[in-house]
Amino acid sequence: MKVLKKALLFVVGIFTLLAVVYVFIGVQKTTSLESGTLKDWRGASIERKAAAVKILRASDDNLEILVKCVDKMATLPDSSDMAVRDATELCFMGMQLKENI
């Protein structure tokens, strides 16, 4: 009976240790908005959005317009799987096309 009790205690201890490690890794996992999807974009603050666009474009030019454009793309149906970098690039290309016409 003592062996069974010790084995059960050992299994519970191992399970608890694994649960703590899993929770710790889950909490530490942060996704950068630049490599995230538009689903991540929707929940981000305006400061994070502006910083992500600034990093992706490596410029402050038209920062507000690009953020608003990506915000608009994030509201489209079935857009949650699109990458933020792709949406930013599409918005930037659209701005360039508009300037050249």
Identify the segments of the chain with pLDDT beneath 50: none
**Per-residue pLDDT tens digits for 80-90:** 889 999 999 99
33 and 84 in contact (C-beta within 8 Å)? yes
Helices 46-57 and 84-100, interaxial angle, to 10°? 70
Contacts of 57 (CB under 8 A, 6+ apart): 63, 66, 88, 92
Q: What is the pLDDT of residue 26?
A: 73
Q: What is the pLDDT of residue 62?
A: 87
Q: What is the pLDDT of residue 22?
A: 86
Q: What is the pLDDT of residue 80?
A: 85
pLDDT above 90 as % of the chain:
50
Q: What is the pLDDT of residue 29?
A: 59
